[in-house]
Amino acid sequence: MSIVHSCHDVVWQATRSQLFLIDPHTLHLLDVNPAAGRQTGKGAGDDFAAIAPALPRQQFDAALDSGAAVETVLARADGTRYRVSLRLAGVRDGDRNCVLAIADDETAAETLQQAQTRFDTIVSHTPGLVYQFRREPDGRVSYPYLSEGCQALLGMPAAELAADPERFARLVLPDDRQSYLDSMTSSAGTLWSWNWEGRIWIEAWKDVKWINLRATPHVLPGGAVQWEGIMTNITESKLEQMEVRASRARLAELTAHIEKVKEQERTRIAREIHDDLGGNLTAIKMALAMLAARLPDGDAVLAEKAAYVDELADRTIDAVHRITLDLRPSILDFGLVAALEWQVEEFAVQAGLACRFQTNEKDVELDSDQATALFRIVQEALTNIAKHAHASSVTVRLHSTRRHVDVKITDNGRGIRAADRTKAGSFGLRGMAERARALGGTLNLSHAPGGGTVVAIRIRRAGDEGLEAATIRPAITKQDVP
């Protein structure tokens, strides 16, 4: 078989080296490979001497005889020159003798080496494992490339993982393994970025680490999918995140307890004020009435004094009644629906606004703590409307289902701005959110159609599992979506 034919079959098309097949007598080109054609712009029939003007015939023959590489320059298609390492060898192409010239661009090699050096430097300073991961159509996996960060991250040399690529999946804890495999399958199917985090067991240190895996997929010829990406150790940040969540949960629990104790104390104080002060004031009024009836006729001064004291007692009774209602409206004893309906009517009178209350149930069964907390949220929302909204109408809607209780307070005011939610001292919204959190519910703020604000509270009924975490969610606008 001809050497040149073998060269054609194996490397002629794909090699980066520039290959020239030359007539040894005329130095005319018989053929060039794609790499040589792109650089020199020459082809069959052209003169090799024009491509290698710095290589006279005598030096050409000497290089061919010795087989040693020579340093020379070749001319590009645009007339510029570039340095190459040139090796000449005699070959046969069919029934004729030829010279095969192999030129390697030293500039390209140096550039490639510099790029490789930069890449190695970047990888060595990258905090994590830089890798290539390949999955064949039959499910086999491999790691074409693993950086030296493998040892620091996984506790094993890169060569060890490359020899047993299935080992990484075995390192993933059983509880997290399915999500790892599912995320890989999803990324391969959609060719979207593979982003996964989970726990792995590091045998070398007998310890568990949290890692984050981010990689970009592409399909290779033959149907295999290959990812290029990086794995990083996120154990410290994950533990901090878990501690923050636990701290928030403890804070929410403490807040809920404080609110519960506060409501209990309000109830106790309201009851004592009602029973003690209310009873005493009633007795005083009765005694005043008896004394006024026994006043001497015609004593206008005493009669005026008695009327004043009687009026003062009435005002005090009214104040006691108002304070008692503020502390804990007794209407709550008749259920949430009755309490909200009363509150909306009271708010309409006090604020001078057009207010409506709507409900799909005549009675909603909630335990006392839930009903009180939900009532307080509505109270705070109405107070905020009165202070800041500049609204002319308000609607409160109560909707009850088997699992949830939803309340929406809608006004037609100026609307809530992002700055209103984050300004210092904005404890009203935070308090509402904390109460909703304590109920295992959500509190959403959004823009009302046509202007204004919608405050939406959803809570799960007591005893329902899987309580949702409460947050103040932003108004539903594109610019506010992260």
Domain boundary among 301, 327, 353: 327
- For the segment 235-259, the average pLDDT, to the nearest whole number, is 83
Residue 228 is inside which H or E element, if any?
strand 225-233
Determine the structural domain holding residue 202 and report its residue range: 126-233
Rounded to 5 degrees, φ, ψ at 18 are -90, 125
Handedness of CA 237, 242, 246, 251 (dihedral sign): positive
Whether residues 273 and 399 fall in one domain: no
- Position 224 in a domain: yes
In whole numbers, what is the pLDDT of the chain averaged over residues? Answer: 84
- Residue range 130-159: average pLDDT? 92
The domain boundary residue, chosen from 275, 303, 327: 327
Residue 117, in any domain of the structure: no
Our CA angle for 372, 378, 382, nearest 5°, is: 140
Quick one: 316 and 355 in the same domain? no
Sign of CA dihedral 464, 466, 467, 472: negative
Task: Tell me which of 341 and 295 has the higher pLDDT.
Answer: 341
388 pLDDT above the threshold of 50: yes
Please tell me which residue, 95 or 398, carries the higher pLDDT value.
398
Tell me the pLDDT band of 170, cut-offs 50, 70 and 90: very high
Q: Are residues 359 and 450 in the same domain?
A: yes
Cβ pair 362, 337 in contact under 8 A: yes
Q: 479 falls in which pLDDT band (50, 70, 90)?
A: very low
The total number of residues shown for the chain amounts to: 482
Predicted local distance difference test score (pLDDT) of residue 476: 33
Higher pLDDT, 125 or 369: 369
- Decide: 70 and 58 in contact? Cβ < 8 Å: no
CB-CB contact of 186 with 193 (8 Å): no
- Same domain, yes or no: 349 and 404: yes
Q: Which of 228, 216, 207 is nearest to 153 (CA)?
A: 207
Cβ count near 83 (within 10 Å)? 18
What percent of the chain clears pLDDT 90, i.e. is strictly above it? Answer: 38
Answer yes or no: pTM beyond 0.75: no
Residues 198 and 152 in one domain: yes
Q: What is the 8-class DSSP label of residue 298?
A: T
Any domain includes 116? no
On whether residue 243 sits in a domain, the answer given is: no
Model pLDDT, residue 455 = 92
| Predicted local confidence at residue 423, as pLDDT | 65
For 51-92, write each residue's pLDDT tens digit: 999 999 999 999 898 888 899 999 988 888 888 889 999 988
Same structural domain, 53 and 99: yes
Residues 194 and 299 in one domain: no
Residue 94 included in any domain: yes
* CB count in 10 Å sphere of residue 284: 16
Nearest to 371 by CA among 471, 263, 286, 469: 263
How far is CA 466 from its chain centroid? Answer: 22
- The answer to whether residue 399 is domain-embedded is yes
Say whether pLDDT at 274 is over 90.
no
Helix (H) or strand (E) holding 271: helix 235-272
* CA dihedral angle for residue 258, residue 261, residue 266, residue 268, rounded to 10 degrees: -170
Same domain, 301 and 390: no
Q: Read off φ and ψ for residue 157, nearest 5 degrees.
A: -65, 155
pLDDT at residue number 334: 86
Q: Is the confidence at residue 331, as pLDDT, over 90? A: no
For residues 179 and 276, state if they share a domain.
no
301-324 tens-digit pLDDT: 888 888 888 889 888 888 887 887
State how far the alpha carbon of 380 is from the alpha carbons of 96, 109, 373, 429, 431, in Å. Answer: 99, 73, 11, 8, 9
Query: Span 12-23, mean pLDDT?
Result: 85
Strands 354-359 and 141-146: unpaired
Residue 337, SS3 per DSSP: helix
Mapping DSSP to helix (H, G, I), strand (E, B) and coil, where does residue 120 land? Answer: helix
Of 83, 111, 139, the position where a domain reaches its end is 111
Please tell me which residue, 334 or 417, carries the higher pLDDT value: 334
Confidence of residue 156 (pLDDT cuts 50, 70, 90): very high
CA distance 409 to 37: 76
Q: Is 70 among the domain residues?
A: yes
DSSP string, 153-212: HHSS-HHHHHH-TTHHHHHB-HHHHHHHHHHHHHHHHH---EEEEEEEEETTTTEEEEEE
Rounded CA-CA distance 31/300 in Å is 135
337-338-341-343 Cα dihedral, nearest 10 degrees: -110
Give per-residue pLDDT as tens, 409-448.
999 988 877 666 666 656 677 778 878 887 778 899 888 8
Higher pLDDT, 471 or 238: 238
Position with higher pLDDT, 100 vs 482: 100
pLDDT above 60 (res 5) = no
Cβ neighbourhood burial of 439 (10 Å; 0-12, 13-18, 19+):
buried
Q: Has residue 435 been placed in a domain?
A: yes
Nearest-angstrom CA–CA distance, 4 and 45: 18
Q: Give the confidence band of 281 by pLDDT, cuts at 50, 70, 90.
A: confident
**Which range has the worst mean pLDDT, 105-114, 245-254, 445-454?**
105-114
- Dihedral (CA of 465, 469, 473, 477) sign: negative
Q: Residue 410's pLDDT is what?
A: 93
Q: Are residues 204 and 278 in the same domain?
A: no
Query: Does one domain contain both 311 and 335?
Result: no
Task: Give the pLDDT score at 110.
Answer: 63
13 and 90 fall within a common domain: yes
Domain count, the chain: 4
Q: Kindly state the helix (H) or strand (E) to which residue 379 belongs, with its residue range.
A: helix 368-384
Tell me the C-alpha distance between 183 and 25, whole Å: 64
Q: What is the pLDDT of residue 270?
A: 77
Average pLDDT over residues 196-207: 92
Lowest mean pLDDT among 7-16, 250-259, 337-346, 449-458: 7-16
Residue with tokens 């878990």: 242
**Whether 356 contacts 396, CB under 8 Å:** yes
Query: Residue 30 is part of a domain; what is its CATH number?
Result: 3.30.450.20
